[in-house]
């Protein structure tokens, strides 16, 4: 599997050529149904979709019929919008600014927290895809994939499966290749950390994380505290693509992995190398592509929990880790608990200490990314699990699994106190650590001379809390150098920012949009241009982004600034948020500072505030 996989570079280049090939042979084949597979390596079925649906490339193994036309996922980006907020009542038109009187940043309760004894889905409206959840005694830990963001693979903690807090990262730095440094013309967008294994070995009190990078090797990391420090311990020459870890009752460690043909590897006694691996199950053509393996044991049976992306969940059951496995469908085309989102799939099965079971899936919810939804599971006397539905759909609300245990709020203000970043933050690629510092504020010195935000090192990103958040940073720009650009962005493959542009001794508040990556290879197709701007004086500015990341909402961001923290002025036409999934990671707030002429300038960020609109 490793060699075969590594032959296929990931990225949209292959996708585009697949689509062309598919178009070519489409005429002679029947059409694939809604959500049906329509392409991928080894696929011999229909390659076009029924009317109103389009065959969309997902990865080398999978293209799927999704609603709409192909062009809708690649069109851009900016147009005049209105802001539906009740707190920032502004209307925007291209290139004009309007003074408003509202601070716009209100506090309200996180709705996932629920009221009374029920919680609401999603439990946390954050982009936390490809999740695995483990329980150690009464504590749950959550791992997610992060592609080229650094540090990678966040760890979250919960005591009730609903309230979660970030505590660390399993991958301190992405050091598998220099391209993860975003330097010397190299970049690694959409590569890096995909669905990975995460587990705990009781006998040695050790947490394990392992990920296959770019269909090549698998890197194993361990920690004795899930909050860290984590360290890289070994390299395994097999790609554990979409892997799940099982520590068996006799302490043997197994990894289930693969695409369509599922394999099980037995690890060496220290869990750091491979002892043997075998293909244990081949997906029949009636099921087709599967991936996203998780590996569990219950009542003496082995279960591999797999997804048919992105609309079905399956489980394989056997009395030996090596099989033979018998499959059963868990869900298919189930309605999600969020309007406009995709079918809940992939994710993890979880047991509580009291022996109750839950399934945390995620839903494709672009432009915001993929976020977790929770539902109870019961086991039948035949040893297969059944999902508890509400009106034949994934429930928007269920009773709390455990006593409600609120944690650090997912919104609020971070004043960058102390000397390190809190674990909610991730850089775009590895940062240049000599060019930033945290000390009661965040100082960002320019780290790259470029005109391209996607080539600039040290953009610091934060997940946006859905459904609609207002992010605000307080930026001190008195130490910027001629040519520097610093500010606050909606960061994804189609980005925009509001910030300060310094030219000579003059400073301008500027809204720049049209900053785009090409899905074919993730090169920069456009570095953007100023859509609106004005001269500004002083040394301090509040920059604000209103972001509606609901998949069925307006999908817009609007940008404003203030020189006193009270009166905000809307700037520019806003950004229609791209809801194509190919970049995988959803929109984030990004704080940046780069030079277009020479290094030497810096900015200081006093605080970042994110509140629900
Ligand atoms: C969750 O609800 C509890 C009360 O039940 C409250 O104390 C807590 O602040 C809430 N947390 C958030 C993030 O809203
Ligand atoms: C889990 O609970 C057992 C029994 O109380 C205890 O010995 C062990 O240290 C706990 N493990 C962790 C990681 O807290
Ligand atoms: C799965 O295994 C079958 C039988 O060995 C093989 O023909 C097929 O190409 C494999 N598919 C993938 C996607 O590796
Ligand atoms: C994207 O890249 C492809 C392949 O290099 C190229 O053919 C195409 O013109 C590019 N599109 C844009 C908008 O730059």
Q: pLDDT tens-digit profile of 249-260?
A: 999 999 999 999
User: Cα 52–54–57 angle (5° rounding)?
Assistant: 165
396, two tokens: 């928007």
User: Cα 139–140–144 angle (5° rounding)?
Assistant: 150
Percentage of the chain beyond pLDDT 70 is: 84
The secondary structure of residue 422, as a DSSP letter, is -
Per-residue pLDDT at 74 exceeds 50: no
What number is the average pLDDT over the span 493-514?
98
Percentage of the chain beyond pLDDT 90 is: 77
Query: pLDDT tens digits for 230-253?
Result: 999 999 999 999 999 999 999 999
137 lines ligand 2 (CB under 6 A): yes
Per-residue pLDDT at 114 exceeds 80: no
Stronger pLDDT, 8 or 295, i.e. the higher one = 295
Q: How confident is the model at residue 183 (pLDDT cuts 50, 70, 90)?
A: very high
Stronger pLDDT, 472 or 16, i.e. the higher one = 472
Instruction: From residue 50, give the alpha-carbon distance in Å to each of 193, 292, 383, 396, 577.
Output: 34, 27, 37, 30, 27
Stronger pLDDT, 172 or 28, i.e. the higher one = 172
Q: Which residues contact 270 (CB under 8 A, 6 or more apart)?
A: none
- Flag the least confident range among 35-39, 159-163, 511-515, 591-595: 35-39
What number is the average pLDDT over the span 160-175?
97
Q: What is the pLDDT of residue 99?
A: 34
Q: What is the pLDDT of residue 17?
A: 31
Average predicted confidence (pLDDT) for the chain: 87
Q: How far, in Å, from the CA of 13 to the mean position of ligand 4?
A: 9
Q: Please, what is the end-to-end C-alpha distance for the chain in angstroms?
A: 47
Per-residue pLDDT at 8 exceeds 60: no
Per-residue pLDDT at 14 exceeds 50: no
Query: How are the residues of the chain apportioned to helix, strand and coil, as percentages rounded to the nearest 5?
Result: 5, 45, 50
Q: How far, in Å, from the CA of 359 to the mean position of ligand 3?
A: 29
Q: How far, in Å, from the CA of 409 to the mean position of ligand 1?
A: 8
Q: Which residue's CA lies nearest to atom 12 of ligand 4?
A: 525
Q: How far, in Å, from the CA of 205 to the mean position of ligand 2?
A: 9
Q: What is the pLDDT of residue 156?
A: 98
What number is the average pLDDT over the span 183-191?
98
Q: In the block, which residue shows the tokens 């905000």?
A: 568
Per-residue pLDDT at 5 exceeds 50: no
What number is the average pLDDT over the span 119-125?
93
Strands 48-49 and 31-32: parallel
Q: What is the pLDDT of residue 63?
A: 65
Cα 445 from Cα 350, distance rounded (Å): 44
Q: What is the pLDDT of residue 126?
A: 97
Q: How confident is the model at residue 57 (pLDDT cuts 50, 70, 90)?
A: low
117 lines ligand 1 (CB under 6 A): no
Q: Are 348 and 294 in contact, with CB atoms under 8 Å apart?
A: yes
Per-residue pLDDT at 193 exceeds 60: yes
Q: How confident is the model at residue 109 (pLDDT cuts 50, 70, 90)?
A: low
Q: What is the pLDDT of residue 38?
A: 77
42 lines ligand 3 (CB under 6 A): yes
What number is the average pLDDT over the span 575-586?
96
Cα 563 from Cα 546, distance rounded (Å): 17
137 CA closest ligand 2 atom index:
1
Closest-approaching ligand to the CA atom of 107: 1
Query: pLDDT tens digits for 367-423?
Result: 999 999 999 999 999 999 999 998 899 998 899 999 999 999 999 999 999 999 999
Q: How confident is the model at residue 42 (pLDDT cuts 50, 70, 90)?
A: low
What number is the average pLDDT over the span 336-359?
96
- Flag the least confident range among 113-127, 453-467, 536-550, 553-567: 113-127
Per-residue pLDDT at 106 exceeds 90: no
What number is the average pLDDT over the span 208-224?
98
519 CA closest ligand 4 atom index:
1
Cα 363 from Cα 394, distance rounded (Å): 11
Q: Which residue's CA lies nearest to atom 4 of ligand 1?
A: 406
Q: How confident is the model at residue 62 (pLDDT cuts 50, 70, 90)?
A: low
Stronger pLDDT, 14 or 289, i.e. the higher one = 289
Per-residue pLDDT at 486 exceeds 90: yes
41 CA closest ligand 3 atom index:
13
B/e letters for 309-342, b = 16+ CB within 10 Å, e = fewer, are bbbbbbbbbbeebebebebbebbeebbbbbeebb
Q: What is the pLDDT of residue 89?
A: 27
Stronger pLDDT, 176 or 50, i.e. the higher one = 176
3-class SS of residue 23: helix
Instruction: From residue 114, give the alpha-carbon distance in Å to each of 111, 396, 512.
Output: 6, 11, 38
285 lines ligand 3 (CB under 6 A): no
10 Å CB burial of residue 269 (0-12, 13-18, 19+) is exposed
204, two tokens: 């040695």
Contacts 24+ apart (CB under 8 A), 500-503: 500/475, 500/536, 500/541, 500/603, 501/530, 501/533, 502/477, 502/601
Q: What is the pLDDT of residue 23?
A: 33
Q: How confident is the model at residue 53 (pLDDT cuts 50, 70, 90)?
A: confident
Per-residue pLDDT at 98 exceeds 70: no
């Amino acid at each position: 599997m490793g060699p075969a996989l590594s032959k296929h570079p990931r990225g949209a280049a292959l996708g585009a050529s697949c689509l062309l090939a598919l178009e070519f042979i489409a005429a002679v084949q029947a059409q694939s149904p809604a959500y049906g597979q329509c392409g991928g390596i080894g696929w011999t079925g229909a390659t076009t979709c029924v009317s109103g649906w389009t065959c969309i490339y997902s990865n080398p193994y999978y293209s799927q019929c999704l609603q709409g036309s192909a062009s809708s996922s690649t069109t851009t980006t900016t147009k005049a919008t209105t802001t539906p907020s009740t707190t920032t009542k502004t209307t925007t038109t291209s290139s004009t600014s309007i003074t408003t009187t509202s601070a716009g940043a209100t506090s309200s309760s996180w709705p996932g927290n629920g009221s009374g004894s029920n919680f609401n889905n999603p439990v946390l409206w954050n982009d936390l895809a490809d999740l695995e959840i483990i329980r150690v005694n009464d504590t749950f830990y959550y791992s997610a994939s992060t592609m080229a963001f650094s540090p990678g693979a966040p760890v979250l903690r919960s005591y009730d499966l609903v309230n979660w807090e970030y505590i660390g990262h399993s991958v301190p730095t992405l050091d598998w290749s220099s391209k993860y440094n975003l330097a010397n013309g190299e970049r690694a967008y959409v590569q890096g950390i995909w669905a990975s294994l995460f587990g705990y070995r009781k006998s040695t009190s050790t947490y394990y994380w392992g990920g296959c990078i770019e269909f090549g090797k698998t890197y194993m990391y361990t920690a004795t505290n899930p909050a860290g420090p984590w360290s890289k311990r070994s390299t395994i020459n097999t790609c554990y693509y979409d892997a799940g870890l099982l520590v068996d009752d006799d302490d043997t460690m197994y990894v289930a992995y693969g695409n369509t043909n599922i394999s099980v590897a037995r690890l060496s006694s220290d869990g750091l190398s491979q002892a043997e691996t075998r293909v244990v199950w081949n997906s029949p053509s009636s099921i087709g592509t599967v991936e996203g393996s998780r590996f569990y044991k219950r009542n003496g049976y082995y279960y591999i929990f797999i997804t048919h992306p992105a609309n079905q969940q399956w489980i394989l059951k056997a009395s030996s880790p090596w099989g033979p496995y018998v499959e059963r469908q868990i869900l298919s085309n189930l309605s999600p608990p969020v309007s406009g989102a995709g079918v809940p799939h992939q994710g993890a099965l979880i047991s509580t200490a009291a022996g109750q079971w839950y399934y945390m899936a995620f839903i494709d919810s672009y432009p915001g990314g993929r976020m977790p939804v929770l539902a109870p599971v019961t086991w039948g006397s035949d040893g297969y699990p059944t999902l508890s539905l509400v009106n034949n759909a994934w429930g928007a609300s269920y009773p709390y699994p455990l006593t409600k245990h609120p944690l650090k709020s997912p919104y609020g203000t971070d004043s960058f106190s102390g000397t390190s970043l809190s674990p909610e933050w991730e850089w775009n690629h590895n940062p240049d650590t000599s060019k930033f510092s945290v000390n009661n504020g965040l100082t960002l010195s320019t780290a790259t001379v470029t005109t391209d935000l996607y080539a600039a090192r040290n953009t610091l990103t934060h997940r946006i809390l859905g459904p609609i958040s207002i992010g605000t940073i307080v930026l001190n720009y008195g130490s910027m150098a001629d040519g520097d650009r610093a500010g606050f962005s909606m960061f994804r493959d189609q980005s925009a920012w509001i910030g300060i542009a310094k030219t000579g001794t003059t400073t301008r508040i500027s809204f720049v949009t049209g900053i785009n990556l090409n899905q074919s290879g993730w090169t920069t197709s456009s570095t953007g241009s100023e859509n609106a701007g004005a001269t500004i004086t002083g040394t301090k500015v509040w920059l604000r982004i209103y972001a509606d990341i609901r998949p069925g909402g307006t999908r817009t961001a609007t940008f404003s600034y203030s020189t006193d923290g009270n009166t905000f002025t809307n700037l520019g036409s806003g950004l229609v948020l791209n809801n194509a999934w190919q970049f995988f990671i959803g929109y984030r707030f990004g704080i940046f500072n780069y030079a277009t002429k020479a290094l030497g300038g810096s900015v200081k960020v006093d605080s970042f505030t994110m509140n629900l609109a």
